[in-house]
Amino acid sequence: MPMTDHAPTLAVTVLMALIYLVVVRIVDLNEKEPLWAVAMMFVLGGLAACVLGLSVNMAVLELSVVPAVLVKELARFLSIAAGVGVLTLLAVRRGWSEINGLMDGVVYGAAGGLGYATGAVFIRDLLLGPVGHLAGLEAAPLSGFGLGSLALVGLSDGIFGALMGIGFAAAVHARVPAQRLLFPLVSFAAAVSAHVSYDYLAHGNALGAEGVVRKWAALVLPALVVVGVMAVALTREKKAIREQLASEADTGVVTSTELGILQSFVAREALYFRTLFKGRFGVWAGLRGLHNRQVQLALAKHRAALAGLDEAAGKLSPEVRQLRVAIVELKHVLETVDAPGSSSVDEDSGARSEPPPEPERDEAKDDGGRQ
């Protein structure tokens, strides 16, 4: 059976995964995760699915429920753990983390889950190509129900991955060592439970439209959990921006104009659009990077406050110090990117205010704090 028979399924699967990733990225209102990090999670999830499909009997993965779920979720868990490990090592080197809260865990976990869904479809159809005709399996044309099933595959794997990502994000900044192990294990158990419930409904007697409805119904509870975590995380981030960056206006690290922009998603996106419309792509990229670092500074100061540090001590914590250095350097870079004599950065973002005083550098980590 030629592989071209499966091309529509693979293409639609990839398209669905990209759509879900775009949606998750859009709702991450305050601090966009680096595209390379999201892509890394996606690729690791896909590789995990491919390795699993090539090393485990397909009957176990397709015909049994609990054993299959345990194996699949373990592979997804390990792929997300590997990605978090890479980001953690990078955080040690640079001095600050790209995982700053539960919302980041949702983004990275969903990316890993969607990557797993794509890899699973790819390896399944790759194996069906040469041997499918021996088992009497043929590539069915895509129908309305087929598209609905593919959409469910991506959504379900994205949700299961997001549940795990929440646990890893909680563990990254846990203050109690035991929680760093407990949170990922609890999230793994939650993903397994949600997946088992989903598969029992998916393998029930209901077919056609009724079967699709039952599958969607099985995702309601875990989806509500993920959406609830996202809502709480975004609210906390907005509060941290408002409370932790107000004092930075005196230093110039975050001007009053920038603080207003950071507190409004609409104002921030409008600024990006105006900058792109003017053809200033370097300024657009610089502003996005600057705003991300400023939000990360707010979240780092918030974590310092939760750890019991007063404001003065919080400003001197290694992560806060490194982020302040990175922000100052980004502002200097942003000034050189725009055309000489232009006042657009001044007017749009306040990034060209009086030069902020250079923060005291951490000599031990100075090289790691540079971008």
pLDDT digits (tens, 9 = 90+) for 27-86: 898 989 999 999 999 999 999 999 998 887 766 666 677 888 999 999 999 999 999 999
CA distances from 245 to 7, 198, 238, 257, 361 (A): 50, 43, 11, 12, 20
d(CA 365, CA 343): 34
User: What is the reported pTM?
Assistant: 0.82
Query: What average pLDDT does range 232-246 have in this prediction?
Result: 93
- CA nearest 147: which of 194, 209, 205, 196? 209
Domain ranges, ordered by start, for the chain? 3-234, 245-365
- Region of 255 (left: φ > 0; alpha: ψ -120 to 50; beta: rest) is beta
Which one-letter amino acid corresponds to residue 100? N
What value, to the nearest 5°, has the Cα angle with vertex 283 and ends 268 and 332?
A: 105
What value, to the nearest 5°, has the Cα angle with vertex 38 and ends 32 and 40?
A: 150
Tokens of 104: 């980041």
Tokens of 254: 């975050």
Residue labelled with tokens 């975590």: 229
The 10 Å Cβ neighbour count of residue 99 is: 24
Confidence of residue 202 (pLDDT cuts 50, 70, 90): low
pLDDT given for residue 346 in this prediction: 47
- 213 vs 43: which has the higher pLDDT: 43
Out of 32-41, 209-218, 287-296, 337-346, pick the least confident.
337-346
- 369 vs 287: which has the higher pLDDT: 287
pLDDT given for residue 272 in this prediction: 94
CB 29 within 8 A of CB 141: no
DSSP for 16-58, please give it: HHHHHHHHHHHH--S-PPPHHHHHHHHHHHHHHHHHHHHHS-H
Whether 145 has a pLDDT exceeding 80, the answer reads no
pLDDT given for residue 53 in this prediction: 85
d(CA 268, CA 270): 5
Percent above pLDDT 90 for the chain: 46
Query: What average pLDDT does range 11-40 have in this prediction?
Result: 88
CA distances from 293 to 149, 220, 347 (A): 39, 35, 20
- CA nearest 325: which of 95, 21, 19? 95
Residue labelled with tokens 């598969």: 199
d(CA 109, CA 164): 6
d(CA 303, CA 348): 30
Tokens of 194: 């949600």
Q: Is 236 helix (H, G, I), strand (E, B) or coil?
A: helix
pLDDT given for residue 146 in this prediction: 47
Tokens of 168: 């890893």
Tokens of 232: 């709480």
pLDDT given for residue 2 in this prediction: 46
pLDDT given for residue 70 in this prediction: 92
pLDDT given for residue 197 in this prediction: 86
What value, to the nearest 5°, has the Cα angle with vertex 100 and ends 97 and 102?
A: 140
d(CA 36, CA 33): 9
Whether 328 has a pLDDT exceeding 70, the answer reads yes
